Amino acid sequence: MDLYEYILLLILPQLTVEEYVVGCYFTNWAQHRQQNAQFLPRHIDPKLCTHLYFAFADIDIKLKIPTTFEKNDILPTEALSPHHSFQQSIDYQIKSMMGSGDLTTVALSHPQQKIGLYEQVNRLKHDNPQMKTLLSLGGASVNGTKFRLVFGNANNRKDFIRNTVKFLRKHKFDGLDLDWEFPENENDKKIFSELVKDYRREFQNEAFVTNRVRLLLTAAVQAYKPKIEAGYNVALIGQYLDLINLMAYDYHGAWDPQTGHNSPLFSRKEQRNNELLLNQKASIDTWLEYGVPSNKLVLGMPMYGRTFRLRNKKNTQINSAAKGAGKKGKYTLSDGFLAYYEICDLIANQKWKNEWSSDQEIPYAYKDDQWVGYDNVESIRKKSLYVAERNLAGAMVWSLDLDDFTGEFCKAGKYPLLTTIKKTLDTLQPPTTPIRIQKMTTEASSIATSDFPSSRHTLNQARLATLPDLSAVKLSSKLFSNNELRALIRSNLNLILSLPFRLLIGGDLRDISINCCVLTDVCTKTYNKMKLMFVGIQAVGKTSLLNCLRREGTGSYQRQTNKTWSSRQNGDRTISSTISNRSTKYDNLSTVGVDISDWIITRSQYGPVTFRTWDFSGQREYYATHQYFFSRRALYLACWKISDDEKGINDIHQWLINIQVRKYSYF
């Protein structure tokens, strides 16, 4: 049959996020702080973090590669390893942002640093194998000009992205975090959008070619609405990013003529106009309003405060007149800035007075002409509860070295703020996942993602995996003969098969994200047989798609040469067959009942995996029939035409409901 536009969804019922995201930023310059404030990878508690971000990597404009900031991010012996991906040490420009000491001094002062910081951070995964490590590219010290020069040119962008993949794999990172601070106009918005899309596609392609788990892609983004509108195509980047780290802090600081809180949860009653946008709730509202799925948005929480010098010591409230930055902290040594542990020390030992804003749900403290707006355990707890209330993916902290990581200053144990986040979120129901539809048309540029309208569904636990690189597909008039499409179908299943099928007692696959399936390492049983069910209304193209798979006869993709049952019809004529190689002249005929066949994929590492493929006849009237064959080991490939518009969505919606309703009978 001729088919020019369609939608594919791989549906895995009853898959939920098992825990909230807790993202932790590690800063490589905190190693230079003195005494008990010095922070190294050995101070990190990996059990408190689900995602660990290494801040930062720089951009080498000439070589078009990520490069290090600190001398000991990568030690020379690592860069010159014979297993080095680039084979040349020049690919790793060893340079220091801080300029403090030579390499020998650093190595002697940190005995555990016989290996570089990259390696030290990634070895923390031994203590928490579920934790993901990501390299954060950019940061405030990387001029936006670098992003524009490298990523504004398609060829430069392509080279840099491919080199990034090699760099990440070489140094054992699980992904990349983009930290461009910040895109600020229409040209920047376009560059950043293309950058995100191209990174995601390259990560997908690399995963398919190498048979490895796809690298993660995240970004740290602006929190203020006018700057969000100026710098981001929110709906587009929301499709391609795995997580979006909302930098929901620095709303106020010494740059303001009056005191204001660094990271208020809500607005104050007195605020008006754009002042109402300077809080975390408003930032969350903006990102969700412009199309980011709530389950991708991560709320940033600061482990520091912003300080001011008061004009009048008697006026100590929020919004009091100020005349610049407060004094430097004893350890952080930055004007207008204090780490949480420094604030604890001031309150406990220098008798600063602590106050609470009931409007904004945050604390502030002051003494003489010094004033600080910061977060404490109570405000962090309230923000963590708000994460759950808004169904966000989780929380992120900037940064680990600014919390009381030793427990010596605040006398509340190690990492009092981070621990509060982790413990609070662990007691709450993990975020549900809204169903999303990935659309594809014959125009390469027309790719869009949207939610089912909330009034038309209550399915929050189904997870969907779509085909990769949809916008690059060029459809032929005969779908079943399109080699490019067949490769896409195969690659999507290949990602799912990157690990053996493993199921948990009382659980399922640990995590599903678009185009990628990651299974937990903790399992009770391995299965080598799965059901693969093709469903959709009559004449939508299910059989043509299935035949793309069944006809694979080379490489590791095989299909069984017997045990195929089918019944097809052409008007009054019925054809029955028990052979596996059906004549192509019947491919455009409608299936009657159900067509069942085995399709075997051979994996040298895990042995053969058998898909028993079920091709159900068009079920306009009997859309629930296939549910009676439902099992724990069943994957659904649901198909419909974009040209059917709302009608197609309504048809598929009913099947999703049946999957959701009937799942409880089988688990």
What is the rounded CA–CA span in Å between residue 606 and residue 627? 29
The runs of H, that is alpha helices, within 290-415 are 340-349, 377-389
Residue 527: CB partners within 8 Å, gap ≥ 6? Answer: 500, 501, 502, 503, 633
CB atoms within 10 A of CB 106: 18
- Please, are residues 57 and 135 in contact by the beta-carbon 8 Å criterion? yes
What is the rounded CA–CA span in Å between residue 234 and residue 12? 27
3-state helix, strand, coil in the chain (%, to 5): 35, 25, 40
Q: Which parts of 467-543 are beta strand (E)?
A: 501-503, 511-513, 516-518, 525-527, 529-535
CA distances (Å), origin 157, targets 100, 174, 218, 250, 459: 32, 20, 17, 31, 39
What is the rounded CA–CA span in Å between residue 570 and residue 554? 31
What Rg, from alpha-carbon coordinates, does the chain have?
Answer: 27
What is the rounded CA–CA span in Å between residue 397 and residue 552? 48
Structure tokens at 209: 């070619």
How far is Cα of residue 126 from the mean position of the Cα atoms in its chain? Answer: 22
- Interstrand relation of 51-60 and 65-67 (parallel, antiparallel or unpaired): antiparallel
| Marked catalytic residue, from 18, 181, 184, 194 | 181
What is the rounded CA–CA span in Å between residue 261 and residue 308? 10
Residue 170: CB partners within 8 Å, gap ≥ 6? Answer: 83, 84, 85
Structure tokens at 321: 């007149």
| Main-chain phi, psi angles of 67, to 5 degrees | -140, 165
Question: Is 408 assigned a catalytic role?
Answer: no
CA distances (Å), origin 480, targets 1, 596, 611: 9, 18, 19
Q: Which of 230, 237, 247, 249 is nearest to 292 (CA)?
A: 237
- Please, are residues 619 and 518 in contact by the beta-carbon 8 Å criterion? no
Amino acid identity, position 203 = F
Q: Catalytic residue positions?
A: 181
